[in-house]
Amino acid sequence: MGSLDDYWPEPVVCVQSLSDSGNLSIPDRYIKPQPERPSLSVNDMNIPVIDFNGLVTSPEATMKQISKACREWGFFQLVNHGVRTDLVDGVRETWREFFHEPMEVKQKYANSPKTYEGFGSRLGTEKGAILDWNDYYYLHYRPPCNTKWPDQPPSLREVMEEYTSEILRLGAALLKVFAVNLGLKEDSFQSAFGGNDFGACLRANFYPKCPQPDLTLGLSSHSDPGGMAILLPDEQVCGLQVRKDDQWVTIKPEPHAIIVNIGDQIQVLSNAIYKSVEHRVVVNPNKERVSLAYFYNPKSDMLIQPISELVTSNKPALYLPMTFEEYRGFIRTKGPQDVKRYKHQITFERPSDKNTLKIPSETLEPNDVKWNPIHNLIKRLREDIANVMTI
């Protein structure tokens, strides 16, 4: 696998500064190829909305709703999730303030592709890549580390610490629900994530106003590499779209809702019963947008593979064991577009000898039920790993 670099391949341009320049056209390197450009979503579908308090008032029905959402959508909105509404509003606005700080303040935290931690404006290190219309701040939180907190605005750290403990509480509860819904012991996912050593990191996303939103994307189509994402959307500005069959569905956030989506590692652990679904962000000519994506992840060196109870002779293991670190390294090098680029080469392989990594051979049609970007990603990863290992 390519090593993670200390430096970006080209000078990084802050998207906010492009937006502030008043130019009516965007630079070429933000213009997506025609098939990737956003289309208006003409359907009035929405992802399932689940009242989390229903786990107390009508547990069976609520568990079923969550199970259906994880299997059919890979996405749902939670209302009555127990995180205080003033806290969710406050944390979003605090990050908005950060993104409006002068450039010299933000540049103090400029990130590198090695860890991504800090302020950045590009994902992936491929020279000449088409970029997304997005600035972000990436923050590592767990396992305990020297978190790179911005010192402006001064309240940011305090409000984030409180928000984080609420989100991690919610994440732990959801993992139990996911496990029980699959007939597993309630701590199955948490143990597979490394128990108390699980990982957590945040990407605060800032999508500045864009003069040509029909030509670009705020975030290219991708599935999340980690365990699960717990996303605080911008209730005032829609932008997140989820792929459902052949359509893009624009999420209409409920007031104070938190959006949950299954990531690639839970898809692997559940042997593809739960789906890690492609999503993307479209931008807006008149309004900026802020979102906070918390990623609840396995510990980096945990070997992730389908949980044994979910592997049967009728449904053999669909994935080879791989550590989360190996998997994430690939995404960090290639950027989110890569998932999409390789989607027509889908591999489906079973583990044979755990010390053997095989070059994938089988290709499925894109409309096969097993079609999913994660299969491509694993194929590409295996090819990269095969280059550096004796197989």
Least CB distance from residue 155 to ligand AKG, whole Å? 22
Q: Which residue, 181 or 223, is less far from ligand AKG as judged by CB?
A: 223
Q: Which residue, 181 or 261, is less far from ligand AKG as judged by CB?
A: 261
Least CB distance from residue 371 to ligand AKG, whole Å? 20
Least CB distance from residue 148 to ligand AKG, whole Å? 18
Cβ-contact 189, 175 below 8 angstroms:
yes
Radius of gyration over alpha carbons of the chain, in Å?
Answer: 20
Distance (Å, whole) CA 204 – CA 68:
29
Torsion (CA) 81, 86, 91, 96 in degrees, nearest 10: 120
Q: Which residue, 118 or 306, is less far from ligand AKG as judged by CB?
A: 118
Q: Which residue, 253 or 306, is less far from ligand AKG as judged by CB?
A: 253
Secondary structure E strands in the chain: 49-51, 75-79, 118-120, 135-142, 199-207, 219-222, 228-232, 240-244, 247-250, 258-262, 279-281, 289-297, 303-304, 322-323
Least CB distance from residue 297 to ligand AKG, whole Å? 12
Tokens of 291: 């979102």
Q: Which residue, 69 or 317, is less far from ligand AKG as judged by CB?
A: 69
Q: Which residue, 51 or 288, is less far from ligand AKG as judged by CB?
A: 288
Q: Prior bond to 33 cis, omega within 30? A: no
Instruction: Classify 69 as helix, strand or coil.
Output: helix
Q: In terms of Cα–Cα distance, which of 361, 277, 272, 354 is closest to 320?
A: 354
Cβ-contact 224, 259 below 8 angstroms:
no
Least CB distance from residue 366 to ligand AKG, whole Å? 22
Cβ-contact 185, 242 below 8 angstroms:
no
Q: Which residue, 137 or 198, is less far from ligand AKG as judged by CB?
A: 137
Least CB distance from residue 33 to ligand AKG, whole Å? 20
Report the interface residues with ligand AKG, using CB under 6 A: 203, 205, 219, 224, 231, 233, 239-240, 279, 281, 291, 293
Q: How do 322-323 and 247-250 pair as beta strands?
A: unpaired
**Backbone dihedral angles phi then psi of residue 323, each to the nearest 5 degrees:** -75, 155
Least CB distance from residue 279 to ligand AKG, whole Å? 6
Least CB distance from residue 232 to ligand AKG, whole Å? 9
- In the chain, the amino acid numbered 150 is P
Least CB distance from residue 307 to ligand AKG, whole Å? 25
Q: Which residue, 199 or 233, is less far from ligand AKG as judged by CB?
A: 233
Q: Judge residue 168's burial from the number of C-beta atoms within 10 Å of its C-beta, 0-12 exposed, 13-18 middle, 19 or more buried.
A: middle
CA distances to 173, 256, 264 from 97, rounded to whole Å, are: 31, 19, 32
Q: Which residue, 222 or 382, is less far from ligand AKG as judged by CB?
A: 222
